[in-house]
Chains A and B, each alone.
Chain A
Amino acid sequence: MSPAAFPDRQVALVDLLDRLLAGGIVLAGDITLAIADIDMVQISLRALITSLGRTTRSGAAEQDQ
């Protein structure tokens, strides 16, 4: 494999999360932390939705405090 196969340029977070939250090998059993069993897609969606809500309500954000 060519060392230049994976360029350093910033990848889009949404493409990265497609792969890191739905891909990658999931190892059950000996993992002490059960985080891999959690629905990671749900976590990412919650994070994304929270952040989107923050962006769209940015004007009202101060009043919420």
Chain B
Amino acid sequence: MSTASYTYAVARPFNPTQAAGLVGVDGAAIHLVRHQDLVAVVSPLAPADADEAALRARLETLAELEAIARAHHRVVAAVAACTPTLPFRLATVHRTDDRVAQLLRREYRRFRETLDRFAGRVEVGVKIYVQHAGASAGAMFVAEKTDGSGSAGAGRDYLRNRREQRNRRQHAWRRATTVAEQMDAVLAGLAVDRRQHRTQSAELSAAPGENVFNAAYLVDAGRAEELAARAQRLGAENPHVTLEITGPWPPYSFADSEERT
């Protein structure tokens, strides 16, 4: 059994010296599969990894998932830095390079249209967090524990504290989502397109606070700084929220936007 073809992206042809030394998943060297004025960016995947069960097992291990994701991103970002690039979903694997070439032929028009849309554009991520006054949470657990004596007063205090804390959280969350809606309207005006991601769970992100808004904007590369600065300004006007801006990214979040099949 021969190697399979891990496919990172389709792009406009570029000077291959710009991708010299670029390695992808499992440290395999990158090569290009060409069709007319399109190239697919590919690296070989060992036969042992080139079946669905094996790949899936790897993706279910965090260390492997991270290694593959970072390798995928490293290649896509390197290519996107020098030419319009349409990123593929993580772990897109074809049996052979011929199958990749067939794909380029079959989807030629769609790929070209999407690359036209991406030319000179980048993705910028904006996340908004609300800070909850969490200091009282610990104190409340203590209250709960010392309440074993059956003191009705302590129980009432505990319930009242819980209620107040819940109300405060709801109020802060509503206020933050209002800020998010206003900011989104302004940023969407600077962008060509926007996508909303699911909010990130607090356990998985290192950022403090609760993520209430997680969006991506497709923007002309020349306006990426402006969009980020505008977001920062709007964030600074609302001190009860925290802002995190990521990117510029290759246009991952917009890759499927014009799918017609």
| Residues in chain A near residue B80, CB distance under 8 A | 1, 5-6
Contact among B82, B91, B99, B114 for A40, CB-based, below 8 A = B91
A6-B248, A27-B92 given as contacts; is B59 within 8 A of A17 (CB)? no
B252 interfacial contact with A, CB 8 Å: yes
Cα separation A25 to B257 with both chains bound (whole Å): 9
Contact digits for B202-217, partner A, Cβ 8 Å, 1 yes 0 no:
0111100000001010
Contact among B4, B200, B254 for A18, CB-based, below 8 A = B200
B147 interfacial contact with A, CB 8 Å: no
Chain B 45-86 residues near chain A, CB threshold 8 A: 50-52, 55-56, 59-63, 65-66, 69-70, 72-73, 77-78, 80-84, 86
Q: How large is the interface on A (under 10, 10 to 19, 20 to 34, 35 or more residues)?
A: 35 or more
Cα separation A19 to B200 with both chains bound (whole Å): 12
| Residues in chain A near residue B55, CB distance under 8 A | 33, 35
User: B248 to A18, Cβ gap below 8 A?
Assistant: no
Give the B interface residue count (CB, 8 A): 69
User: A14 to B200, Cβ gap below 8 A?
Assistant: yes
Closest to A41 in B: B198
A57 interfacial contact with B, CB 8 Å: no
Contact among A23, A25, A44 for B65, CB-based, below 8 A = A44
User: B69 to A23, Cβ gap below 8 A?
Assistant: no
User: A30 to B91, Cβ gap below 8 A?
Assistant: no
A60 interfacial contact with B, CB 8 Å: no
Known: A1-B83, A30-B106. 11 other contacts (CB 8 A): A1-B80, A5-B224, A11-B246, A15-B125, A20-B72, A23-B216, A25-B87, A30-B94, A40-B89, A43-B60, A52-B204
B residues neighboring A (CB under 8 Å): 4, 50-52, 55-56, 59-63, 65-66, 69-70, 72-73, 77-78, 80-84, 86-95, 99, 102-103, 106-107, 114, 119-123, 125, 195, 197-198, 200, 203-206, 214, 216, 221, 224, 246, 248-250, 252-256, 259, 261
